[in-house]
Amino acid sequence: MNNPRSDQPSETAKITIGDKVVSCPVVTGVENEKALDISGLRNQTGYVTYDEGYANTASCLSSITFIDGEKGILRYRGIPVEELAEKRSFIEVAHLLIFGHLPSVSEKSAFSKLLTSNCMIHDNMVKLFDNLPSSSHPMATLSAMVVTLSAYYPELIKPEMSAEEMNKIIAELLAKIRTLAAYSYKKSIGEPIIYPKREYKYVENFLHMMFSTPVDEYPLDKEVVDALEKILILHADHEQNCSTSTVRLVGSSKANLFASISAGICALWGPLHGGANQAVIEMLEEIVRDGGDVKKVIEKAKDKNNPFLLMGFGHRIYKNFDPRAKVIKGICDTVLTKLGINDPCLEVAKTIEEAALKDDFFIQRKLYPNVDFYSGIILRAIGIPTNMFTVIFAMGRLPGWIAHWKEQCESPNKKIGRPRQIYVGAPLTHI
Ligand code: ACO
């Protein structure tokens, strides 16, 4: 592999195994992150590396997102996420992640028009919603419908695509996911689906399809639209997390975009990944029901004999603060004030944060509120039901997933993802 930083002197690290010394090239990232290229290790020694959960393994070179968890940094294509959330729309950020640059005025207008013109779902596909039980979780419906798009666009699911075909499939998916997401909600509550409107922008259309009914038009509120826009931006990418790695792994077999993203949606569904903001709301509700004794909750979280964790606190990567959490907290205050909602969960959340940040247990372990600590409160205030929280996360994460799938398709390295294992089962046994 060539070192991505040609301005850096080439370095090697030496691994000694018995009397054999193997030289591993050091790969240096743009922000000076270092990795050992161990791809030659097995051929030279017969050894593989063992890294449960890939916690210390870089699976690819990527130009999309940079995270420094120690410093609380998250940048999309070099731009801090806080700046993007303040100054740009979700569609502009999607363009940035997928195509590598913020759109010009004319590119933005063309991109918006493209998304609007592709937001309708084939009528036969709409009928499929009728055959799902209303008890279907919206994530089950969404993942099934996204892979089903492959059936409706067979011309777009070839392993090799022209740039034009690639742009077409990306636009189809970005445009349709909000329609599919809103339809899956409508079906789960047994209400008729609401068609998108041409004159509405991306987030406005989603809220309209979620909350309008055949008899009542949902009144769009600028603060609500803005809050959802920002939540989507803050979730738009997070480099090689579980669902993104899933998208890349599935895509590495040359599976089509719809199939790869559907797999990513399934990975996100798990409570250890996209389901955490739901767990925060459930925890806060229980604390409120229990009388709101925050001191008791903090002590419970610190008690090593008690499995209870303060949900929405701590992060595998961020060990200083989660830059997304700071923005989310601001939005939370704005939205609740605007909507005149006095949510006791918000008061409890703020008191917990204040108490934990002063407590040695949390300070020593570098446990700070993560993005999920306040996002559930905002979604609830907007009227999004708890079982749709992960669907919102999936809509937000879609541009990131697409960007990684595209980056992989365009990379000269076309290796299928295929980790090794250490076999610990039965030794040779004859029947
Ligand atoms: N409450 C109380 N104690 C905690 C918490 C918490 N939320 N998180 C970690 N700790 C403690 C652990 O018990 C451990 O203590 P010890 O050193 O005395 O054994 C120490 O802090 C380190 O914890 P790890 O689990 O090793 O930290 P890791 O980085 O592996 O885990 C994780 C991060 C999974 C996010 C964890 O902090 C957690 O479970 N948090 C609550 C769930 C949550 O909010 N998840 C959402 C993550 S953000 C996202 O996915 C979008």
What pLDDT, on a 0 to 100 scale, did the predictor assign at position 2?
53
What pLDDT, on a 0 to 100 scale, did the predictor assign at position 375?
92
Q: What ligand 1 atom has the least distance to the C-alpha of 373?
A: 44
Q: At what angle do helices 344-357 and 294-302 cross, to 10 degrees?
A: 50
How far is 328 from 20, CA to CA, in rounded Å? 52
Q: Which protein residues touch ligand 1 with a CB less than 6 Å away?
A: 273, 276, 301, 309-316, 365, 367, 370-372
CA 18 to chain centre: 43
**Ligand 1 centre distance from Cα of residue 309 (Å):** 7
- Are the C-beta atoms of 375 and 388 separated by less than 8 Å? no
How far is 115 from 198, CA to CA, in rounded Å? 10
Q: Which of 313, 360, 368, 374 to mutate to test the pocket of ligand 1 (most atoms within 8 A of CB)?
A: 313
Q: Confidence band (pLDDT; 50, 70, 90) for 1? A: low
CB atoms within 10 A of CB 402: 24
Q: What ligand 1 atom has the least distance to the C-alpha of 315?
A: 35
CB atoms within 10 A of CB 57: 13
Mean of the per-residue pLDDT values of the chain: 93
Known catalytic residue at 315: yes
Tokens of 268: 């996100």
> If one looks up domain 12-74 in CATH, what number appears?
2.20.28
Q: What ligand 1 atom has the least distance to the C-alpha of 393?
A: 51
**Ligand 1 centre distance from Cα of residue 78 (Å):** 28
In sequence order, the β-bridge partners of residue 36 are 26
Q: What ligand 1 atom has the least distance to the C-alpha of 273?
A: 50
What pLDDT, on a 0 to 100 scale, did the predictor assign at position 3?
63
- What's the average model confidence in pLDDT over 174-201? 93
Which pTM does this prediction carry?
Answer: 0.92
pLDDT tens, position by position, 219-275: 999 999 999 999 999 999 999 999 999 999 999 999 999 999 999 999 999 878 888
Known catalytic residue at 372: yes
Q: What ligand 1 atom has the least distance to the C-alpha of 309?
A: 1
Q: Which of 315, 343, 359, 360 is catalytic?
A: 315
Nearest protein Cα to ligand 1, atom 29 = 316
How far is 230 from 232, CA to CA, in rounded Å? 5
Place of tokens 């997070």: 238
Nearest protein Cα to ligand 1, atom 31 = 316
Q: What phi and psi values does residue 318 have, to the nearest 5 degrees?
A: -80, 120
Nearest protein Cα to ligand 1, atom 3 = 309
Residue with more model confidence, 130 or 233: 233
**Ligand 1 centre distance from Cα of residue 315 (Å):** 6
pLDDT tens, position by position, 135-180: 888 999 999 999 999 999 999 898 888 999 999 999 999 999 999 9
DSSP E strands in 304-384: the ranges are none
Tokens of 34: 């270092």
Q: Which of 208, 235, 372, 404 is catalytic?
A: 372
How far is 200 from 206, CA to CA, in rounded Å? 9
Nearest protein Cα to ligand 1, atom 15 = 365
**Ligand 1 centre distance from Cα of residue 390 (Å):** 20
99-131 per-residue burial string, b: 16 or more CB within 10 A, e: under 16: beebbeeeebeebbebbbebbebeeebbebbee
Strand 79-80 to strand 65-68: parallel, antiparallel, or no bridges (unpaired)?
unpaired
- What's the average model confidence in pLDDT over 4-30? 88
**Ligand 1 centre distance from Cα of residue 283 (Å):** 15
What pLDDT, on a 0 to 100 scale, did the predictor assign at position 32?
93
Domain ranges of the chain: 12-74, 79-431
- What's the average model confidence in pLDDT over 188-215? 94
DSSP E strands in 119-248: the ranges are none
How far is 232 from 203, CA to CA, in rounded Å? 9
Percentage, residues of the chain above pLDDT 70 = 98
**Ligand 1 centre distance from Cα of residue 409 (Å):** 35
Nearest protein Cα to ligand 1, atom 12 = 365
- Are the C-beta atoms of 193 and 129 separated by less than 8 Å? yes
* 37 membership: H or E segment, kind and range: none
Which candidate, 283, 242, 278, 282, places its Cα nearest to that of 263?
242
pLDDT tens, position by position, 44-77: 999 999 999 999 999 999 999 999 999 999 999 9
DSSP string computed for 171-199: HHHHHHHHHHHHHHHHHHTTPPP----TT
343-356 per-residue burial string, b: 16 or more CB within 10 A, e: under 16: bebbebbebbbeeb
**Ligand 1 centre distance from Cα of residue 369 (Å):** 11
Nearest protein Cα to ligand 1, atom 44 = 312
C-alpha distance across the termini of the chain, in Å: 46
Which candidate, 348, 351, 353, places its Cα nearest to that of 326?
353
Which candidate, 319, 301, 327, places its Cα nearest to that of 367?
319
Q: What phi and psi values does residue 67 have, to the nearest 5 degrees?
A: -125, 135
pLDDT tens, position by position, 283-338: 999 999 999 999 999 999 999 999 999 999 988 889 888 999 989 989 998 999 99
Q: What fold, for 79-431?
A: Citrate Synthase; domain 1 (1.10.580)
What pLDDT, on a 0 to 100 scale, did the predictor assign at position 270?
87
CA dist 34 → 285, 286, 373 (Å): 43, 44, 32
